[in-house]
Amino acid sequence: MVTEQRERDLPPVSELAIATMILVVIGGTFIAGHVPKHVPLLLPSILLAAACVLLIANLFLLSRVTAFSWSTFRLVFSRSLAGYGVIAGLLTYVFIRGDIPNDVMAFLAAMLLIFALDIPLLFAFSVARYQPAESGAQR
Amino acid sequence: MVGETQTLGSAPVASAAGAPAIPDFEIVPMKALPIVGIVVAALVVAIEYNRLWPLEFFHIVGGGMWTAIDLFVGFIIGPILGRLSIQARIEFLIRFMPKMVLLMPTLVTMTLVAGWQLANYTGDIAVAYPDHWWLTASYAVVGVMSVIAIGILEPANLAVLFELKKPRPDAELIGKLMRRFVYTAGITGAMQVATLVIMTRIATW
């Protein structure tokens, strides 16, 4: 099938995006489970670093794709970024109001930033992969 | 494609001659965006005002609707959807899914943001372990549901809607994605039972 062939030709962007999301969710749950008491930051540091690496690797793999529906990708990514940017912004706002220490807040903000970039990437790729491919020059 | 058996959702169905009729539809219902904007603005006002009633209102209304919709879609709509004809499923999906694209993120945001502020207001967030495990369990349940809903269910919804916009949608692809929708909706529905247990326990401390 054309769809299966197309899926085989693409890097595992969805899988990496879901893995990134899982790391961020575990980190966020760990921090939220300790607040307002002292939060040990070793595990969140490891999870945040791993999530960053996965997100960057994912963007790199995606940038190597030549035949892809980039116009659809841009459309879905921009709309999703607007929506999930608002969600991440609201969560950051309510955490800041909750008197969370600055160092812990920095971790939460960084995780929410990754979340706000990762989800649009996942949505945009999931839609664009099934759309007619454009040439690399149309990127 | 004439006479060929296809699957759309979980049940196999035989296609009629020619492609099914797909009415025009909006993937994101633009008319509903101002309502979402009003809800978000009211949520910010409630947090700034920081009183029990508005925080309870947003957390209970948002959470109640989120839980009820997940249970209803997972256990009532999903199984019915799997048994409808192609045409009926398309008619339903193009009216149902665009609304869910806006409704569910709005309800989830209402619930989580107001819930965090509410826990700060009531002091529940500072409760010591082992009682704190109930809060941690609620974060974990929300986290797992988020991964399933945002990571698997929502991308499938969007891909189906974009596929249905094509002049000749791929029935096999829609069938595969719809099966994912039906199963993941069932899983999130089941997880909402855990949410009900946890939240009623916290509310009766």
pLDDT in tens, B34-64: 999 999 999 999 999 999 999 999 999 999 9
Q: What is the pLDDT of residue A19?
A: 97
pTM recorded for the entire structure = 0.88
Tell me how crowded residue B133 is: count the other CB atoms within 10 A of its CB: 13
Query: A40-49, A82-91, B89-98: lowest mean pLDDT where?
Result: B89-98
Amino acid B3: pLDDT: 36
Kindly state whether A65 is in contact with chain B, defined as any CB-CB distance less than 8 angstroms: no
Task: Please identify among residues 120-149 of chain B the ones whose CB lies closer than 8 Å to any CB of chain A.
Answer: 120, 125-126, 132, 135-136, 139-140, 143-144, 146-147
Number of C-alpha atoms within 13 angstroms, CB side, residue A13? 27
Lowest mean pLDDT among A43-57, A115-129, B9-23, B108-122: B9-23
Question: How far off is chain A from B159, nearest CA to CA, in Å?
Answer: 5
Report the range of poorest mean pLDDT among A66-70, A132-136, B78-82, B180-184: A132-136
C-alpha A123/C-alpha A33 separation (Å) is: 29
pLDDT tier, A4 (very low <50, low <70, confident <90, very high otherwise): low
Give the separation between CA A70 and CA A129, rounded to whole angstroms.
9
* Binary contact (B116, A131; C-beta < 8 A): no
| A75 vs A136, more confident | A75
Residues of A in contact with B170 (CB under 8 A): 3, 130
Tens of pLDDT, residues B60-105: 999 999 999 999 998 899 888 878 887 888 889 899 999 999 999 9
Rounded to whole angstroms, the Cα distance separating A71 from A138 reads 8
* For residue B111, pLDDT beyond 50: yes
Residue A104 CA, chain-centre distance (Å), reads 20
- For residue A78, pLDDT over 60 is answered with yes
Residues 6+ apart with CB under 8 A from B126: A36
pLDDT at B108 over 80: yes
What does the pLDDT average to over A84-102?
Answer: 92
Residue B170: what pLDDT?
A: 87
* Mean pLDDT, rounded, of chain B: 87
Residue B4 pLDDT more than 50?
no
Token pair of A47 as six digits: 């999870």
Task: Write down the pLDDT at residue A6.
Answer: 60
What single-letter DSSP state applies at residue A1?
Answer: -
pLDDT at A129 over 50: yes
Rounded-to-10 torsion of CA B109, B134, B53, B118: -60
pLDDT at residue B7 above 60? Answer: no
d(CA A19, CA A60) in angstroms, rounded, equals 16
Cβ-nearest to B151 among A76, A122, A130: A122
d(CA A127, CA B162): 7
Q: Which residues of A55-86 are buried (b: 16+ CB within 10 A; e: fewer)?
A: beebeeebeebeebbbebbebbbebbbebbbb
Query: Dihedrals φ, ψ of A26, to 5°?
Result: -65, -45
* Digit-coded pLDDT (tens) for B130-188: 999 999 999 999 999 999 999 999 999 999 999 998 888 888 888 888 888 888 888 99
- pLDDT over 60 at B8, yes or no: no
Predicted confidence (pLDDT) at residue A20 exceeds the cutoff of 50: yes
